[in-house]
Amino acid sequence: MILEKIDQLLNEVNNLKANNAEEIEQLRLKYLSKKGEITALMADFRNVAADQKKAVGMKINELKQLALQKINELKEQNEVAEESADDFDLTRSAYPIQLGTRHPLNIVKNQIIDIFQRMGFTLAEGPEIDDDLHVFTKLNFAADHPARDMQDTFFISQHPNDVTKNILLRSHTSNDQSRIMEHQKPPIRVICPGRVFRNEAISARAHCFFHQLEGLYVDKNVSFTDLKQVLLTFARELFGPDTKIRLRPSYFPFTEPSAEMDISCHICGGKGCGFCKHTGWVEILGCGMVDPNVLEACGINSKVYTGYAFGLGIERITNLKYRVADLRMFSENDTRFLDEFVAAE
């Protein structure tokens, strides 16, 4: 009789389950308290025949140990469950992910690249650190040209007796022209965006580094008309169909003839404002026909081939599109500034 009762309790205790601390306490009271089932067995134990007392006693002990162990296990499991419930609130909504933005210079650069790629230009990039030979000499700079001077160019190393071996930070992307013409035979139709460096005091209007995009087209029968049409198409694609261009004669050692191109001020529509200094026009690039000396220096026969080149300032164009008042904003990594361009693309 008592043995059956013990077996039944053993079975119950083996399958104990509880969902929370309170239920566990109820089980402890039910089995292990003074008024509990196991204590009650002790009362019956007195009536057990003497020769069975040992066996029954051992069984009761086994039951008590099992009940203790099971209730402790339940307590532990419950604690773990409660702790993790504290750590992970699975009902909490997710934190919003802070999305980055494209840098305004990259947005504009990509728009410019896209326009020229649609006109058949391929994309290339040249080195920011280069030698005098490619940045100046092959581009027809006279030995005493001021651009070679320390005031403009950051030199990395100067050769004792051969200026063409000086290593420097390029002051324009035109070094890409000499590098491409050296290795590629015409027809060449390429654009090269990149960073350039000039030794200037940093202010709202000037920086010691900025970005340019170089364009180069070399083939048979390339004329100034081709250059003008490509630049007009470019300006209209970027700033809208009403945009006008104006080419002013200029000078660059590596182009002849040379010009600077203005566009009608995008901000005032050509009426005149602070940005265009009340002229209605804003300069955005330098250009011209590649000087025959440059073609020859790069191994291209200037009797057979002609070409044009242009170099535009990406900061200047970005300013026209987004009216950034201070050039320094572009390189300060202030996320309040960059966040302004979330929707721009």
For ligand PHE, the binding residues (CB under 6 A) are 172, 174, 214, 252, 255, 286-288, 309-311
Q: Shortest approach of ligand PHE to residue 227 CB, angstroms?
A: 10
Q: Shortest approach of ligand PHE to residue 266 CB, angstroms?
A: 21
Token pair 């006109």 is found at 119
**Number of helices (H) and strands (E), helices first, in the chain?**
11, 10
Q: Shortest approach of ligand PHE to residue 161 CB, angstroms?
A: 27
Q: Closer to ligand PHE at the Cβ: 105 or 287?
A: 287
Of 186, 262, 198, 256, which is closest to residue 224 (Cα–Cα)? 256
Strand partners of residue 193: 213
Q: Closer to ligand PHE at the Cβ: 193 or 288?
A: 288
Q: Closer to ligand PHE at the Cβ: 194 or 286?
A: 286
Q: Closer to ligand PHE at the Cβ: 64 or 170?
A: 170
Q: Shortest approach of ligand PHE to residue 192 CB, angstroms?
A: 10
Q: Closer to ligand PHE at the Cβ: 31 or 254?
A: 254
| Upper half-sphere CA count for residue 318 (Cβ side, 13 Å) | 24
d(CA 59, CA 11): 13
Name the phi and psi angles at 281, rounded to 5.
-125, 145
Q: Closer to ligand PHE at the Cβ: 270 or 288?
A: 288
Q: Shortest approach of ligand PHE to residue 254 CB, angstroms?
A: 6
Q: Shortest approach of ligand PHE to residue 179 CB, angstroms?
A: 14
- b/e 181-210 (16+ beta carbons within 10 angstroms → b): beeeebebbbbbbbebbbeeeeeeeebebb
- Mutual orientation of helices 53-87 and 21-32 as an angle, nearest 10°? 170
Q: Which residue is nearest to ligand PHE (CB)?
A: 311
Token pair 């050509």 is found at 270
Q: Closer to ligand PHE at the Cβ: 147 or 338?
A: 147
Helix boundaries (H) for 208-342: 224-239, 292-297, 314-322, 335-338
Q: Closer to ligand PHE at the Cβ: 310 or 330?
A: 310
Q: Which amino acid is at 231?
A: L
End-to-end CA distance of the chain: 86
Q: Shortest approach of ligand PHE to residue 128 CB, angstroms?
A: 14
Q: Shortest approach of ligand PHE to residue 335 CB, angstroms?
A: 31
- Ordered DSSP codes for 87-144: H--TTSPPPPP------HHHHHHHHHHHHHHHTT-EE----SEEEHHHHTGGGT--TT
Q: Closer to ligand PHE at the Cβ: 172 or 207?
A: 172
Determine the length of the chain: 345
Q: Shortest approach of ligand PHE to residue 91 CB, angstroms?
A: 60
Rg of the Cα atoms in the chain: 41
